[in-house]
Structures are given as C-alpha cells and as structure tokens.
Structure 1
Amino acid sequence: MNASGTRNIPPPPILPAIVYDELRSYLRESGSTLSPSEALIKAVQCWIAKGRADAIPARGYQWKQLFLPEGTRLRMRFNERWYAAAIVGDNLVYNGKPVSPNQMVVKVAGDGRNAWNEIWVLLPGHKQWANAALLRAQLMKQTAKVPPTAAEAMSIAAKAMSDALSTALTLVAHANDQAKNTLERRLPKYRRAWDQLEDVE
C-alpha cells in the first residue's frame, strides 16, 4: 500500500504506467465502482462498437450530386404557404409518399419550376435553411478544388505534352512547306523571261 491507501498494482504490459495511473485516479475521483481492467475492457468495447457503427453506410437520399442524410427536412413556399417534406430512410417523403424533388415541386406548384431553385433544405445539426441550388453550387466548388490523384495528374500532363508535340509538328510542317515554296518560286523554270536578271560582268 502507498501513502494514499491504495495498493500499487502494476499496469498491464501494453499500457504506459502514466496512463494507467491517470485512469486509476479518474476512477477513484469519479466514484466509479469499475476496476481499471474493467474500465479498459469497456473502453475498448465502446471503441470497437463506434468503429462498426461508423462503418455502416449512412442512410439518406441521393439527389444527383447532393446527398441528403436521413433526418434532413425540405420545404417549399408557394402561394404564401410552406409545404414540407423529410428524408426518411432512403426516401424523400412528401404527404406520406416517397417522391423525387421534382415530383414534390410538381405536386405543390405544377410544372414549369426548377426543384433546385424552389426547395430549401435543413440538414441535420444545422440551424439555417439553405437553398438546394446554393448547396449544390457549394458542393461543386469544393469538388473542383480537390487535387487530382497522381495517376490523373500524369494522364493530364501526358495529354498536354502530346498536344504540344502535335502542335509543334504541325508548325514545323508548315514552316517546311513555306520554305519549299519560296525556293521553288526562285527557280528559273518558274520565272518569267523578262523577270530574270542578266549576269553583269
């Protein structure tokens, strides 16, 4: 036993002593009835469960480029009234039926409207509604900034070099053709008799 009245238990071989002491202090201060070993087991189990939960694909609705996760709310204003829908599972549900964004707009306001411009979106965890067209534009801007992979960059560079070489070869062929024409025009067979200079002695 040490001065604080607790036994000196060696830490598990895979855990640094400082971390083990910190865990024991926390358990004691928080009044937990768990032993350090039980706390470690629970922590590892929670960590594994969280990793598995994160690996499960998110449910939601894929609207062209824009993914709307489950719990997203959508609304549209028409004739001074708001019409609401929500993402439930993998469906956009309006009036209890799965629809597409365009079908929702047609049901509310009839044909001739662009769903991207008419629908407002409230994503889970957000406080501000955003226009769907604005969200799509922001997404496109972000994806445009993504640098190409090494293979894509090499492919782009190879195409640029190929285009430059092709242009250079075309210019060389044109220059050769021009030079040939200039020389041929100076040959005696292409000159008029009166246009030839006489040799001066």
Structure 2
Amino acid sequence: MNPARVAHIPPPPILPDIVYDELRAYLRASGSTLSPGEALIKAVQAWIAKGRADAIPARGYQWKQLFLPEGTRVRLRVITTWHVATIVGDALIYEGQAVSPHQMAKQAAGDGRNAWREIWVLLPGHRNWTHAALMRAQLLKQAAKVPPTPAEAMGVAAKAMSEALST
C-alpha cells in the first residue's frame, strides 16, 4: 500500500471522514496490504455472510423467552437424585419422551414445583450449570435496556468492521 497514493483518495461519500481516517490508520499500523476500499468491501462481505449464517434457524427448544440450543442439558434435584433431560432437535427429552420443563418438574417432583426455580441448565460448550431463573432474569434485563443511540450504534459497527478486518 502506497501511503502517498492513499492520502489522495477521498473517502466514499457514505463514510464519515473520521471513520475513513481511522480505517486508513488501522490498515497502515497493522501492515495490511489492502486499500481502504478493499477493506470496506471485505468488511461488508463478512458482515453479510455473518447475517446470513445467523439467519439459519438453530435447532433447539424455546422455553418462554429462553432459547435452549440442541445439546443443552437440563436438570433438577429431588431429595438426593438429579433428574436430567437433553434438548434433542426441537424437543426437551426426559425419560424418552418430549416434555415441557413444567412437565419434567411435575413428573420428577410432583405438583407444586416451579420449573424456573427448580431447573439448572448446561449449555453446549459451557462447563458450569446455570440456574434457569437467573438466565431468565438476565434476558429480561437485557430486553429492558434502552436501544443504542446513533453514536453507540456507529461505534458497534466500527468495532465489528475492525474485527472483520483482523480476521
């Protein structure tokens, strides 16, 4: 990349000057051979590919607002015995049958059990079990957050672009 040549290329009209300058500085500092235009094209292509990959429906079980991907294990304890079920495809399988978390709690412990308070969850790739009620509370807290301001959204986009360029 020839810094003298790049210095004379104006930023694309849709990209603010400050962001364009930051991109040029990043490319220079990282030793990239990409021009800013090439980097932008690669970043947009990576962003589109990620969006398409994210749009592919994941298999798993939707428990109210909590999505449990396939391979998730759930358990609850009754006295000294742990009762375990697994998400297979789109179903929660407990003792060979597709059940809801409420049905699992009812079959394992009888009536009067609140599945949110009784069930622990182990997501695929995680090492620690998490209480279902805590996961639900975290989701509700995230949903209550105020949407980002345009400046915050631009910062998130710039960070994603930077990460895409570094891959």
* TM-score w.r.t. length of structure 2: 0.55
Give, as a single letter, the amino acid of the residue that structure 2 aligns with 1:6: A
Who is 2:10 aligned against?
11
CA distance in 1, matches of 2:97, 2:9: 60
The match for 1:77 is: 77
Please name the residue that 1:32 is paired with: 32
Q: Is the 8 A contact 2:76 2:82 kept in 1?
A: yes
Find the aligned partners of 1:81 and 1:129 in 2 and give their Cα distance.
18
Q: Which runs of 5+ in 2 are unaligned?
A: 145-167
Q: 1:115 to 1:68 in 2, by over 3 A?
A: farther
Q: CA deviation at 1:10?
A: 1.2
Pairwise mapping of residues 157-176 of structure 1 onto structure 2 (< 5 A)?
Answer: none
Equivalent residue runs for 1:1-201 within 5 Å? 6-7=4-5, 8-14=7-13, 15-57=15-57, 59-63=59-63, 65-70=64-69, 72-94=72-94, 97=96, 99-100=98-99, 101=101, 104-105=104-105, 109=108, 112=111, 114=113, 116=115, 118-122=118-122, 129-131=130-132
What is the deviation of 1:18? 3.2
Structure with the greater alpha carbon radius of gyration: 1
- Cα distance, 1:92 vs. partner? 1.3
Q: CA deviation at 1:69?
A: 2.6
Which residue identity is paired with 2:41?
A: I
Instruction: Determine if contact 2:120/2:129 at 8 Å carries over to the other structure.
Output: no
User: 3-state DSSP class of the match of 1:6?
Assistant: helix
CA change 1:23–1:66 in 2 (3 A) is closer
Deviations 1:160-192 (CA, angstroms, capped at 9, x unpaired): xxxxxxxxxxxxxxxxxxxxxxxxxxxxxxxxx
Shift of 1:121: 3.4
Q: Deviations over 1:121-173 (max 9, x none)?
A: 356789663255x877x69x98xx9xxxxxxxxxxxxxxxxxxxxxxxxxxxx
Deviation at 1:75, TM superposition (A): 0.5
Relative contact order: is structure 1 or structure 2 higher (C-alpha 8 Å, sep ≥ 6)? 2
The share of aligned pairs that are identical, in percent, is 55
SS in 1 for 2:86: strand
Report the AA paired with residue 121 of structure 1: V
**Residue identity matched to 1:67:** L
CA shift for structure 1 position 76:
1.4
Relative distance call for 1:66 and 1:112 in structure 2 (3 A) is same
Over the aligned positions, Cα root-mean-square deviation in angstroms equals 4.0
